[in-house]
Amino acid sequence: MSVKPAYDKAAAEGRAALVGYLPAGFPSREGAIEAAKAMVDAGCDVIEIGLPYSDPMMDGPTIQDAVHQALVGGARVADVFTTVEAVAATGVPTLVMTYWNPVDRYGVDAFARDLASAGGSGLITPDLTPEEAGPWIEASDAHDLDRVFLVALSSTDERIDKITRASRGFVYAASLMGVTGARSAVDTGAPRLVERTRQIIAKNGGDLPVGLGLGVGNGAQAAEVARFADGVIVGSAFIRRLLDAPDPAGGLAGVRELTADLAAGVRGRA
């Protein structure tokens, strides 16, 4: 199931979609599933499950910590599929966000096949651009999966054209030049990037939604982003709640509270 209908539903309600990220295996195998379900209950429209990887080159300290904990706790690629299966069963479309090597190692077609059979919607690939994505484009076509590539503030129009043509489900606009992690303010270049991306999609006759991520951590920022993007993507702030909680119940309560704040934000009520 593509994530596109979830974006369309949010748009029909006159708001942005809320996309929440958590790595599989964090804070534990079961804990990640419970936290993701809490995010669904409290108002996330799309869930991204991160595949914990030893060398998260694009992640800041918060996600590095979470992923490290997951790996020390014994998280395996198979856990990603079971987590996706449990979360997708709620009816909310569930993507996997992963660095490329674990997929390459698993076998691109086998990964696509197992993700599809777990009910997953597709992949977000932070270190794979369309140039190197030949096998993934083939596999995602064969298994009817979304392909979420990223555009950045530094992307030329030519690259945005190539990336949006290759994307399916939505395109991920990185709101700032930097790694993941909550920031105090949304980069001033972000609205312009979303606008450029939308114009290029429209010129090509497409209707791909544009989600904006990196740095968003609270309802007020979500409201600001919701004014110009189709989706608001939040990751590190959820992890922060789980890391800072005194116990698992407190972590889930924190995740619910943050989701509610963000969900109000994407509805312009923060």
Q: Is residue 151 a contact partner of residue 193, using CB atoms and an 8 Å limit?
A: yes
What is the separation, in whole angstroms, between the first and last Cα of the chain? 30
Tokens for 164, please give them. Answer: 């949006």
Tokens for 9, please give them. Answer: 């539903």
Distance CA 175, CA 19 (A): 14
Distance CA 251, CA 166 (A): 37
Which residue is catalytic, options 48, 146, 224, 261?
Answer: 48
Which residue is catalytic, options 45, 59, 114, 230?
Answer: 59
- When computed from its CA atoms, the radius of gyration of the chain, rounded to whole angstroms, is 17
Torsion sign (Cα): 65, 66, 72, 76: negative
Q: Which stretch binds another protein (CB under 8 A): 40-48, 114-122, 124-132, 186-194?
A: 124-132
Q: For another protein, which residue of 84, 148, 179, 229 counts as binding (CB under 8 A)?
A: 179
Q: x/- contact string, 79-118, with another protein (CB under 8 A)?
A: ---------------------xxxxxxx------------
| C-beta of 78 vs 89, nearer to another protein | 78
For residue 214, the one-letter residue type is L
| C-beta of 50 vs 60, nearer to another protein | 60
At its nearest, how many Å lie between another protein and the CB of residue 172?
Answer: 9
Annotated catalytic, 59? yes
| C-beta of 177 vs 202, nearer to another protein | 177
| C-beta of 153 vs 270, nearer to another protein | 153
| C-beta of 25 vs 251, nearer to another protein | 25
Torsion sign (Cα): 43, 46, 49, 50: negative
Tokens for 21, please give them. Answer: 């990220």
Helix, coil or strand: residue 168: strand
Q: x/- contact string, 189-228, with another protein (CB under 8 A)?
A: ----------------------------------------
Q: For another protein, which residue of 178, 189, 191, 268 counts as binding (CB under 8 A)?
A: 178
| C-beta of 136 vs 228, nearer to another protein | 136
Q: Is residue 172 a contact partner of residue 211, using CB atoms and an 8 Å limit?
A: yes
Q: Which residues of 236-256 are buried (b: 16+ CB within 10 A; e: fewer)?
A: bbbbbbbbebeeeeebbebbb
At its nearest, how many Å lie between another protein and the CB of residue 246?
Answer: 25
Distance CA 175, CA 177 (A): 7
Q: For another protein, which residue of 30, 54, 202, 249 counts as binding (CB under 8 A)?
A: 54
Q: x/- contact string, 130-169, with another protein (CB under 8 A)?
A: -xx----------------xxxxxxxx--x---x------
Annotated catalytic, 132? no
Q: What share of the chain is helix, strand, coil (3-state, %, to 5)?
A: 50, 15, 35
Question: Any idea which residues carry the catalytic annotation?
Answer: 48, 59
> Which parts of this chain interact with another protein (CB under 8 A)?
53-60, 64, 68, 71, 76-77, 100-106, 126-129, 131-132, 149-156, 159, 163, 174, 176-179
